[in-house]
Structure 1
Amino acid sequence: MKEGIFFGEGMKFVKESYPDIYGAVVELNKVAYTGKVLDYKTQKLIAIGIIAATGDDLATEKQMRSGMNELNITKEEIVDSLRVVLLTSGMPAFTKAMKVLNKL
């Protein structure tokens, strides 16, 4: 994730109205995405899989798009991540995510 970019209109409200909470989220993001053992690209693919498993089309698209734009993640790499979604979260989440990926 690029510095300070969070998806969701709620984060804009948090940033403006509750800067202490926003600051905590920024710090948590830095701690989560360290690249110490797993590189950022791998972590992003995990994030894509997790959000795809929720079935949230918009969030899935934003995660996929940012991974493709920021890290040159390929559709084939995303499909590998979505294979795990199929196994762990089932067909509905998998097919929704594949539909999103096809649209990109």
Structure 2
Amino acid sequence: MKDEVFFSKGMIHLKEDYPDLYDVSVALNEAAYTGKVLDYKTQKLVAIGIAAAASDDRAIKKQILSGMKELDITKDEIVDVLRVVLLTAGKPAFTKAIRILYKTME
């Protein structure tokens, strides 16, 4: 969500009708994605891995989409992350994320 790129359709309503909540959302993302030690691309790859490990279909898709759009993250970079998901979270989480990755790329 770098540079106020939101993939949630609800954020436009917050921005228009509840700017205080929108501003808090922006500030939280800026606090999380600082790039102080890990660059933003690495942080996004971590976010993809966390979403995949949690088997959260929607979050996996959104993280992959934003990573590919904002940071030109490649399929191979995502698969490297998903290899760690396979090791730590298991085959069901891994195969779900692989399916979502390929569906997202269509």
TM-score by length of 1: 0.83
What do you get for the CA RMSD once the two structures are aligned? 1.8
**Structure 1 CA distance for aligned equivalents of residues 90 and 10 of structure 2:** 29
**Could you list the per-position Cα deviations for residues 12-55 of structure 1 after superposition, in whole angstroms to 9, with x for gaps in the alignment?**
44444433222111111111111111011100100111111222
Aligned to 1:41: 41
Structure 1 residue runs of 4 or more that deviate by more than 4 Å after TM superposition:
none
How many residues of Structure 1 are paired with residues of Structure 2 in the alignment?
104
Alpha-carbon distance in structure 2 between the residues aligned to 1:102 and 1:34:
29
- Pick which of 4-13 and 27-36 moved more: 4-13
* Identical-residue share of aligned pairs (%): 65
- 1:66-99 residue CA offsets vs partner (Å, 9 max, x unmatched): 2122211111110111112122222211111001
* Alignment gaps of 5+ in structure 1: none
Deviation larger for 40-49 or 82-91: 82-91
> TM-score, normalized by length of structure 2?
0.82
Pair 1:74–1:13, CA change in 2 (3 A): same
